[in-house]
Every structure is written in structure tokens, then in C-alpha cells.
Amino acid sequence: MSRLGSEGEDVIGRWSEEKLDLLAKYLKAYSVIMNEQKKSWLRAYYYIDAFAGSVRPRAKEDEQRYIDGSPLRALQTEPQFDGYWFVDVSQQRVERVEELRAEFSDCVINIRQGNCNEILCNEIAPQIPYSSKRRAFVFLDPYGLQVDWETVRELANTKTCDIFVNFSVMGVTRLLPRDQNPEPEVIERLSKVMGSTNWITEIYRELPEIQLDLFGNPTEPTSSRDTIQAEWLASLYTKQLQALFPHVSRPVLMRNSTNSVLYALCLASHKQTAIKITNQIFDRYERLRDLGR
């Protein structure tokens, strides 16, 4: 989660800015295609942001520089979406989003404060069934592991939603201890986020040597996990998504200034074309990033 500046606004690193640039590029392509579909069968298409509170965050390396957050990137996209849903659990962030109504008075803006899983599943998804001839782009950019797998499943089942998800690789690895098997509550939480935890047994191994306690008696076998490769974990999550969506992009790894992987960004869609566009955007981004190193 990004830290807060003196005025309570988010302060974000370079990788977060790059993530927002990738979002904006895809939103432009998505909106052009969907707007064209309105000439034939499509009634409307929407933008849904489940963690929408960062309206104008500051740059970490230069806090005098403000950056357009995801709500602004969506509202500035041309052609315009037919409606926007902005969700956040924080009252302060919701109040910041509310201020956008005056700036974008010609846009249909819906704002909800609360748990995104409940709002997406109980309020938003039921409004866009397949028969409605409406479509939606959902941006899932959690601060950690707040998006439930059942929420992703619910969105997939509509067959009307594409999801652009920023999966917290760092959040998963921090939960898994190095020198022992994870506690049941950790496994339960990861199952809630990833839909399955069968993979956990693959990364832990029993230590072969026998340990003795203070009295010289053999102790219970202990376990340790191998180093978890971020690429493997990102690939694992996209494979999980493939069980719900017919088409999933390859993940692009979002790295901080020390080159540590924090998140993996990918698109899950019902259209092959969407994945082709996403992978092209990701390829271009990675080429430019590698040149900048």
C-alpha cells in the first residue's frame, strides 16, 4: 500500500505510475473497440474501479509532482464510457473521488464506499447480465490481498466483464514462512484469494536431517520452503484465471526501484482480441523498461 503525504494523498513509486500508464493505454484501445460495437449490438459499456481512491497521487521521487490516478485515467478516456463505478473502503478516498463529479459533470458516475467484494458481487454484477447487451471493464488493483477468488469467479460468470487485475505477488510471499509449514489460517486466506492452495505443498520440503531436542530426543520433522520465484507465482495465478476466463494475457511483473517484484498485472477476457492488444502493450512496455536499465 502506498504511503500518505502531508495532505493525506497517496504517494506512489515509479512502478505504480507505469501501471497507470499501462491501464490508460488499454482503456483507450478498449473504448475505441466497444464504441464501435455500439453501432450494432452493444447498448452500453462501463468502467468499474474496485480500489478507486487514488485520484491525484504524488510522485515518490518528487512530491511536488501530481499523477493522474485510475479514476482520472478512466474519465479522460475517449470515447467516453457510458458509466463509471468507483468503489473504495476508505471514506477519505471516496470523498476525493466525489470531487470529480463537478469536474466531469457530463459523465454518469456511481460511487460506493465499502468492501469491493460485496459491492461487486451483490450490487454491480447483477446489473450487467449477458442478456443485457452491456459490457464492463473492471480494474482490480488491491492494496494487498483484498480481492476474493469468488469475486473474480462472479465477474467471470457474467460473461460481460473483462478484468485487469494487479495481483500482489509480494502479499503472497510475505504470508509464507521460510522455516516451517504455513499455519492453517494462512492457507485459508490464500485459498480465499487464489481459489486453490494445492501448489503450497509443492514449495515446501521436509528437512532430511533429524533434529534433537534439549533431552536428546528426535523432534518432529521440520519443513522449509524453497525460494519462490515471482515469475512462477505470477504464472500460477494466470493459470488459475484460465479456469474462469477463456482468454488470459501473460503477466507483466511490476518491479520497484530495487528490482523486486511487487505485483503481476494481467488481463482476463472473453475475447481473444483483448489479449492480443494487452500482450502488445506489455511487450512494448518491457522493451522500453529494459532499454532504460
pTM summary value: 0.89
The residue whose grid cell reads 518432529 is 220
Quote the strand ranges of 122-206, DSSP E: 134-140, 161-168, 204-206
Cell digits of residue 214? 534439549
Considering the domain architecture, whether residues 50 and 191 belong to the same structural domain is answered as: no
Considering the domain architecture, whether residues 222 and 235 belong to the same structural domain is answered as: no
The confidence score (pLDDT) of residue 225 equals 63
The confidence score (pLDDT) of residue 205 equals 64
**Rounded to an integer, what distance in angstroms lies between the CA atom of residue 232 and that of residue 251?**
10
DSSP state of 259: -
Considering the domain architecture, whether residues 185 and 274 belong to the same structural domain is answered as: no
Considering the domain architecture, whether residues 32 and 71 belong to the same structural domain is answered as: yes
Considering the domain architecture, whether residues 195 and 57 belong to the same structural domain is answered as: no
CA-to-CA separations, 161 to 124, 217, 264, 271, in angstroms, rounded: 11, 58, 20, 10
Count of domains for the chain:
2
Considering the domain architecture, whether residues 70 and 51 belong to the same structural domain is answered as: yes
The confidence score (pLDDT) of residue 208 equals 45
The confidence score (pLDDT) of residue 201 equals 77
Considering the domain architecture, whether residues 64 and 201 belong to the same structural domain is answered as: no
Range of the domain at 205: 181-227
Considering the domain architecture, whether residues 171 and 234 belong to the same structural domain is answered as: yes
The confidence score (pLDDT) of residue 1 equals 44
Mean pLDDT by 10 residues, the chain (293 residues): 52 89 97 97 98 86 86 97 96 93 96 97 97 98 94 98 96 87 91 89 60 53 62 93 97 91 96 97 92 69
Considering the domain architecture, whether residues 65 and 194 belong to the same structural domain is answered as: no
Quote the strand ranges of the chain, DSSP E: 3-4, 10-12, 44-49, 58-59, 62-66, 83-88, 109-113, 134-140, 161-168, 204-206, 223-225, 247-248, 252-255, 261-269
Considering the domain architecture, whether residues 105 and 42 belong to the same structural domain is answered as: yes
DSSP state of 47: E
The confidence score (pLDDT) of residue 209 equals 46
Within 8 A by CB and 6+ apart from 215, the residues are none
The confidence score (pLDDT) of residue 218 equals 52
Provide the pairing of β-strand 261-269 with 247-248: antiparallel
Considering the domain architecture, whether residues 165 and 69 belong to the same structural domain is answered as: yes
CATH number at residue 78: 3.40.50.150
**Rounded to an integer, what distance in angstroms lies between the CA atom of residue 187 and that of residue 204?**
13
Considering the domain architecture, whether residues 262 and 213 belong to the same structural domain is answered as: no
